[in-house]
Chains A and B, each alone.
Chain A
Amino acid sequence: MSTTLSINKLAKFTTALTPTSLTFSQDVIKDALAQLSSSEFPTTRNEQWKYTRVGKIAAIEPQVKTEYTRKLPKYSIAENAVTFVFENGIFRSDLSYGEVINGVTIKPLTACTAAELVSVGKLAKIEGDVFNSMNSAYASDGIYIHIASNTIVQKKIQIIQILTGNQTVANTRNYLFCDKFSKAEIIFGAFSHDATNSFNNVVTEILVEENADLTIDKIQYEEAGNYTIATENVQQAKDSTFTINTLTLNGTIVRNNLTINVAGTNCTTNLNGAYLLKENQHVDNHTVVDHLTPHCNSNELYKGVIDDKATAVFNGKVFVRKDAQKINAFQSNGNVLLSDNASVNSKPELEIYADDVKCSHGSTTGQLDEEAVFYLRARGLSEKSARHLMVSAFIGDVLEKIESEDVLAFTQKILQERFGWEF
């Protein structure tokens, strides 16, 4: 709802951005611009944004540069991985390294032909989505990954996004395609360096073809004072497996939109998430698993620890469409509040139109069990150590599901820094 009196903040915001020069469909760009021209930044009156205020993002006066040359320290999650680095959505070839992997095409979107990008914009929803639209119209660059059929990728791949500068707005667009019978694990790390009041708007479209198996590890570790909205739109074909691990370890406002269309039979979908919040952080995980076809399984586990004045939001939605029989869909969200000023808003939703299904969801909010703390203290742990050990165990349920040792080591290190414990 816009009034004639107030100036359209979104319009003002987008005029400062550089229109995309990527070679994907002009129709997508046109639709995105049309959507933007008739929209405003979402408010908490919008059901999708009920618990997340984007005022701080809207207040940015966007600074956009088209080239970055400053030397940056090395940000990495996996050593010896094929690494592609993007600074504020611009490819940094000087910071990227790694060898060619057989059957895998990795390059920035700016180096792609129109034919390669023909499917970009097919999954990301433009209608009613301001940030997707903004990304479609103003994306600077991002990663393109194509994994050929029958390729099992052994090599590690990591995509590092670094946010720098003051009031920077980065629109990063990624496109991943896993062809039939392929298997890969890709790490996405989001960092920041000397950044304040900057905003990274990432949209990733992922296609998982028949029998393919893709794992995404998403690590969000930006400094306080920066904002991220990360949207993943995934489509799964039959017999495929898709796993995404979302680990939010820092950042002031982080919003993750995960939409997975399970469009083939016999698919498996795993969504795992952990969030460690402190100070005035706000992390919002929105997930949609849309079961369009029968005989599929989906598992969702999100757990978080909320301290200080932080706020966590979880909104998980599972759709089981008509005739999508024999679905097993499980969803679980657990929260521990460590401070009296912390808050949690959890909204696990089920929308089911088929009858032969097993679906369940659970949500818990509570605190560390005082009796368990006592038990540990009786065994000689300090109060702090006892509490930290319990937090580690709580988050451990999610970390257990992560296969990549590098991701695990990176996360454990941060967990240890904040919730270290000793005997």
Chain B
Amino acid sequence: MGYTENELAKDLENQEYKFGFVTDIESDKAPIGLNENIIRFISAKKNEPEWLLEHRLEAFEVWKTMTEPEWAHVHYTKPDFQAITYYSAPKQTKKYESWDDVDPEMKATMAKLGISMEEQQRLTGVAVDFVMDSVSVATSFKAKLAELGIIFCSFSEAVQEHPELVKKHMGTVVPTTDNFYAALNSAVFTDGSFCYIPKGVRCPMELSTYFRINEGGTGQFERTLVVADEGAYVSYLEGCTAPQRDENQLHAAVVELIALENAEIKYSTVQNWYPGDKNGLGGVFNFVTKRGMCERNAKISWTQVETGSAVTWKYPSCILKGDNSIGEFYSVAVTNNYQQADTGTKMIHLGKNTKSTIISKGISAGFSQNSYRGLVQIHKNATNARNFSQCDSLLMTDTCGAHTFPYIECKNSTSKIEHEATTSKIGEDQIFYCLQRGISEEKAISLIVNGYCKEVLNQLPMEFAVEAQKLLAISLEGSVG
């Protein structure tokens, strides 16, 4: 027997005693491990109100009683939750001294994606000038948004400045008891973004994490809350196509969307976390809980392009609570090498005349495993509910896997549910046709894959779509079997 849990607990207790959390408040980093005092430390560090601390502690109590879910079709070594640092202040120092220090492989990828030089340097965290520049850009955008009454800021800022909004909405869609990772996130989240669109306002621009001022260092436990008040509209972009290298292996984010009456939220994600090397070593574990609540006549649309992470566990969902509400899910998930993805959506139909559409396109290459797992649930009162699901999988090699696990539960006789799934590989005749016309095999595959994903890519905002297409090509580079 090695180091037991009890011993660890004892050690941690001693540790706390040794350093104490109150005196440690000036430090930038919490001690390794997770316990009540660490949570108090994070909360104190962020100068949070009492109710939020209580919320965190409650979540922690719940989390302690939960076990890590094992039902997903993924295999990995479970992270040691006591070996993680749950808080470290955003690093002020730049990551690289000069542009020359940046990993040439990363530079090449960004060039291929067509990201501008400025953006490239900003993303890699090189040039302070450009960061300053983007800050000013962001500030001018902020002013414009403020005019309309739109609140768009970091989560910590929102807690300080708009506590009533945060308190009212936080945890209403993803309760702390929801699942293991959501509970963990609720206990230890460090930052994230908050967005509120007032009644009847149509947000004039795509809100994006690109423009966010206090970006970096939001850490592994991100918390996003988007509230669209009655009749409001917002399109929100998360992530970016550039490869994200991150030291943190575990990412457990929570995203909550609230669309009140007649509101519409469009949430687009491009995720390109470090997927590990060609042999499947390293890489980010992405365990995300994303859920939206639709009131009457509201609409929530999730669009995602997933190419990164070693292990993905993610099910953006819609609770169609109000009558006539609409939920949409468009997804492209690409896995290569030894990546594993178990992703899909849940559409919970509660209101009358609710509609949902699911379009999921999976592409597996290398030795990867790509699963779609979805739930369509029609409750008793969801008269005339309608669902259409289509899950296609494309297999690039004979060593990868593509799986479909749809759950369809219907308790209403007036609803219509359709589900179809196909699995196949790229037709040899299609490749042959392209080759005949002088298109190289690599290009032909990229062309076919882009055509295959078109239904989803079309849903992305313009600039994102262009980058996403290139991203697909890069992710599948050299994967032709």
> Which chain A residues have a beta carbon within 8 Å of chain B's beta carbons?
47, 322-323, 325, 335, 337-340, 342-367
Contacts and interface: CB of A to CB of B under 8 A. Distances in A.
23 contacts: A322-B399, A337-B413, A339-B413, A340-B412, A345-B407, A345-B409, A346-B408, A347-B408, A348-B404, A350-B402, A350-B403, A350-B404, A354-B395, A355-B396, A357-B395, A357-B424, A360-B421, A364-B418, A365-B416, A365-B417, A366-B415, A367-B413, A367-B416
A343 B411 contact: yes
A343 B409 contact: yes
A353 B402 CA distance: 7
Contact of B420 (A325, A338, A360): A360
B380 interface: yes
B403 A349 contact: yes
A349 B342 CA distance: 14
A342 B393 CA distance: 32
Interface in B45-81: 71, 73
A337 B401 contact: no
B341 to A, nearest CB: 14
Among B393, B419, B423, B424: residue with most chain A CB under 10 A: B423
Most chain B beta-carbon contacts within 10 A, residue among A354, A355, A361: A355
Contacts of A366: 415-417
Contacts of B397: 355
Contact of B407 (A337, A347, A357, A360): A347
B104 interface: no
A348 B398 CA distance: 23
Contacts of A352: 393, 395, 401-403, 423
B481 interface: yes
A356 B395 CA distance: 8
B415 A365 contact: yes
A356 B423 contact: no
Contacts of A367: 413-414, 416
Interface residues of B, number: 37
Contacts of B425: 355-357
Given A352-B401, A355-B400, A357-B424, A343 B417 contact: no
A349 B413 contact: no
Contact of B419 (A343, A351, A362): A362
Nearest to B414: A367
A47 B408 contact: no
B130 interface: no
Contact of B410 (A350, A355, A365): A365
Contact of A363 (B396, B401, B408, B413): B408
For the complex of A and B, list the 5 residue pairs with the smallest distance between their C-beta atoms, beginning with the closest. Answer: A355-B395, A337-B413, A346-B408, A365-B417, A343-B411
Contacts of B421: 348, 350, 360-362
B4 interface: no
B279 interface: no
A371 B404 CA distance: 33
A337 B412 contact: yes
The secondary-structure label for the interface of chain A is strand
Contacts of A360: 420-423
Contact of B404 (A335, A353, A361): A361
A363 B419 contact: yes
A349 B406 contact: yes
A353 B401 contact: yes
Chain A CB count within 10 A is highest, among B73, B398, B400, B413, for B413
B405 interface: yes
A406 B71 CA distance: 44
Contacts of B409: 343-346
A50 to B, nearest CB: 9
B399 to A, nearest CB: 7
Given A335-B410, A350-B423, A355-B398, A340 B380 contact: yes
Given A342-B413, A347-B407, A351-B403, A325 B423 contact: no
A355 B419 CA distance: 22
A343 B413 CA distance: 8
Nearest to B420: A362
A47 B424 contact: no
B408 A344 contact: yes
Interface in B149-172: none
Contacts of B411: 342-343
B422 A359 contact: yes
A349 B420 contact: no
A349 B403 CA distance: 7
A353 B395 CA distance: 9
A364 B417 contact: yes
B417 A363 contact: yes
Nearest to B369: A353
Nearest to B389: A363
A202 B354 CA distance: 43
Nearest to B378: A365
Given A346-B408, A357-B424, A364 B393 contact: no
Contacts of B404: 348-350, 361
A47 to B, nearest CB: 7
A255 B8 CA distance: 47
Nearest to B419: A363
A340 B424 contact: no
Contacts of B398: 322-323, 325, 354-356
Given A347-B406, A350-B403, A351-B401, A357 B423 contact: yes
B413 A347 contact: no
Nearest to B373: A349
A211 B71 CA distance: 39
A355 B405 contact: no
A363 B416 CA distance: 11
Nearest to B425: A355
B407 to A, nearest CB: 5
A235 to B, nearest CB: 24
B406 A348 contact: yes
A353 B413 CA distance: 37
Nearest to A312: B410
A346 B409 CA distance: 6
A47 B73 CA distance: 13
A340 B378 CA distance: 12
B419 to A, nearest CB: 4
B419 A348 contact: yes
A124 B256 CA distance: 46
A349 B73 CA distance: 12
Contacts of B412: 337, 340
A363 B420 CA distance: 6
Contacts of A351: 73, 401, 403
Contacts of B393: 350, 352
